[in-house]
């Protein structure tokens, strides 16, 4: 399949950014799994099932991304960090809803991916019926009881899942998966991230994925988690020869029920979120005349970033109201006129006849 020109341009630009990311990973002497997914809309499409428009779009997109990676020699078979690739994502529960069509789709997706000849294994997460040679991997909270669907496939732990957003250090550094033959652990997430400034999701929306990763969104170590994992990795590395040459033996510490290890190497103090602890800068934005601005009609407040495209902090709303001089509130003793606006995120400045009457901004409470 040949992607539409606009989609080719988008995929090409994204692939260039991906190439740069992989090169940065290589410079840091790290290994990298890659993931390819399609989420788009086409006429007659039915997502993630045995549907020809979707399969064609998915195949075209996957071929494009893999081709870009191969042309830059980014796979481990070419000497650099991409050691495995993922096709589809947690499809097991979805596939059971589609029944035979779901199984047919997953078989074709696996065959298509393997046929791209990346030279590295392909995996499917949370897919018990992953067809050979695709490896089914575990998404779970521990995964020490997990086994792949064939005895000759390696045991892989690809993602911590669940509703608990904080994992204690002794829980995250859980070695039983390695003791039972696990050969791959993907920390998801190892570096927790927040989108800062203009890349955040909007007023009162913090685009943050993980508050409890070993490295926080600022690149600072979260202790004792970071140091404890460092020691676990060192211990696994020291046991590398035994782990890869023979079946691992399991040793139970009896009568010990818990082991406490003092591994904290530093104390991190988080700054408060009050304004006095921050450094501020200001600039004056030129406000253009209304005559030069594009106009549109609306009956409610708009999502400002969608309208202004982040070109301005100001969005003007204008309305006209004719008020008779005989209105009660204009006479002595009458109730003052009030303006009520339902908004949780906007800051508003109200002018009447060109004169500023007041300012207000929404909060999470009102």
In a domain, 101, yes or no: yes
Q: State the pLDDT at residue 291.
A: 66
pTM for the model: 0.60
Give all strands (DSSP E) within 54-192, no chain letters. 82-87, 122-125, 135-140, 155-160, 182-185
The reply to whether 202 and 110 lie within a common domain is yes
CATH code for position 228 = 3.20.20.80
What distance in Å separates the CA atoms of residue 152 and residue 45, rounded to the nearest whole number? 37
The reply to whether 231 and 305 lie within a common domain is no
The reply to whether 239 and 99 lie within a common domain is yes
The reply to whether 239 and 294 lie within a common domain is no
Question: Of 245, 271, 295, which residue constitutes the final position of a domain?
Answer: 245
Q: Which of 44-58, 61-75, 301-315, 326-340 has the lowest mean pLDDT?
A: 326-340
Question: Of 188, 221, 245, which residue constitutes the final position of a domain?
Answer: 245
Q: Are 180 and 250 in contact (CB under 8 A)?
A: yes
Would you name the residues annotated as active-site residues?
Answer: 90, 159
In a domain, 151, yes or no: yes
In a domain, 292, yes or no: yes
**What are φ and ψ of residue 124, in 5° steps?**
-125, 130
**What are φ and ψ of residue 263, in 5° steps?**
-120, -5
Give the Cα-Cα-Cα angle 140, 165, 180 (nearest 5 degrees): 30
The reply to whether 144 and 22 lie within a common domain is yes
Task: Report strand pairing: 155-160 vs 347-352.
Answer: unpaired
The reply to whether 171 and 301 lie within a common domain is no
Q: How many domains does the chain have?
A: 2
The reply to whether 34 and 124 lie within a common domain is yes
Q: Does the pLDDT value for residue 37 go beyond 70? A: no
What distance in Å separates the CA atoms of residue 351 and residue 317, rounded to the nearest whole number? 10
What distance in Å separates the CA atoms of residue 35 and residue 319, rounded to the nearest whole number? 50
The mean pLDDT of 180-186, rounded to a whole number, is: 87
Q: Are 177 and 157 in contact (CB under 8 A)?
A: yes
Structure tokens, 195: 């989108």
The reply to whether 82 and 136 lie within a common domain is yes
Q: State the pLDDT at residue 100.
A: 92
Q: Supply the DSSP symbol for 101.
A: H
260-275: pLDDT as tens digits: 555 566 677 777 777 7
Asked if the bond preceding 215 is cis, omega within 30° of 0, the reply is no
In a domain, 310, yes or no: yes
The reply to whether 154 and 13 lie within a common domain is yes
Q: Closest Cα to residue 315, out of 303, 329, 299, 327?
A: 303
Q: Which range marks the domain in which residue 291 is found? A: 287-366
Q: Classify 262 as helix, strand or coil.
A: coil
Q: Supply the DSSP symbol for 337.
A: P
Q: Are 155 and 128 in contact (CB under 8 A)?
A: no
Q: Closest Cα to residue 32, out of 107, 118, 117, 106?
A: 118
In a domain, 206, yes or no: yes
In a domain, 167, yes or no: yes
What distance in Å separates the CA atoms of residue 245 and residue 239, rounded to the nearest whole number? 10
The reply to whether 163 and 299 lie within a common domain is no
Q: State the pLDDT at residue 44.
A: 78
Structure tokens, 327: 């209105």
Output helix, strand, coil percentages for the chain, rounded to the nearest 5: 30, 15, 55
The reply to whether 216 and 354 lie within a common domain is no
The reply to whether 297 and 220 lie within a common domain is no
324-333: pLDDT as tens digits: 877 777 776 6
Q: What is the mean pLDDT of the chain?
A: 79
Better-predicted residue by pLDDT, 179 or 168: 179
In a domain, 258, yes or no: no
Question: Of 193, 215, 245, which residue constitutes the final position of a domain?
Answer: 245
In a domain, 99, yes or no: yes
Q: 358 forms bridges with which residues in the sheet?
A: 350
């Amino acid at each position: 399949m040949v992607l539409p020109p606009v989609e080719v341009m988008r995929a090409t630009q994204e692939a260039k950014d991906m190439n740069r990311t992989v090169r940065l990973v290589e410079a840091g002497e790290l290994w990298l799994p890659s993931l390819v997914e399609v989420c788009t809309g086409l006429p007659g499409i039915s997502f993630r099932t045995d549907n020809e428009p979707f399969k064609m779009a998915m195949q075209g997109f996957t071929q494009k991304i893999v081709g870009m990676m191969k042309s830059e020699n980014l796979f481990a078979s070419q000497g650099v960090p991409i050691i495995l690739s993922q096709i589809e994502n947690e499809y097991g529960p979805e596939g059971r809803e589609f029944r035979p069509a779901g199984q047919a789709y997953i078989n074709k997706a696996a065959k298509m991916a393997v046929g791209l000849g990346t030279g590295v294994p392909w995996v499917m997460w949370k897919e018990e019926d992953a067809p050979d040679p695709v490896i089914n991997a575990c998404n779970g909270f521990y995964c020490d009881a997990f086994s792949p669907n064939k005895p000759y496939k390696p045991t892989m732990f690809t993602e911590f899942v669940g509703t608990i957003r904080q994992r204690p250090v002794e829980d995250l550094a859980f070695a039983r998966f390695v003791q039972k033959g696990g050969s791959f652990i993907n920390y998801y997430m190892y570096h927790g991230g927040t989108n800062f400034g203009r890349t955040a999701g909007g007023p009162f929306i913090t685009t943050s994925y993980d508050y409890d990763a070993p490295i926080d969104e600022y690149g600072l170590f979260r202790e004792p988690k970071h140091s404890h994992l460092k020691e676990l990795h060192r211990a696994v590395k020291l046991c590398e020869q035994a782990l890869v040459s023979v079946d691992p033996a399991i040793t139970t510490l009896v009568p010990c029920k818990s082991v406490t290890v003092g591994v904290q190497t530093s104390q991190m103090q988080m700054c408060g979120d009050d304004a006095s602890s921050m450094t501020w800068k200001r600039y004056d934005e030129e406000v253009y005349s209304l005559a030069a601005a594009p106009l549109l009609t609306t009956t409610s407040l708009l999502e400002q970033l969608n309208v202004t495209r982040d070109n301005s902090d100001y969005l003007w709303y204008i309305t006209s109201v004719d008020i008779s001089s005989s209105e009660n509130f204009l006479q002595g003793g009458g109730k003052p006129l009030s303006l009520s606006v339902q908004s949780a995120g906007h800051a508003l400045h109200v002018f009447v006849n060109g004169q500023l009457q007041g300012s207000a901004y929404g909060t999470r409470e009102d």
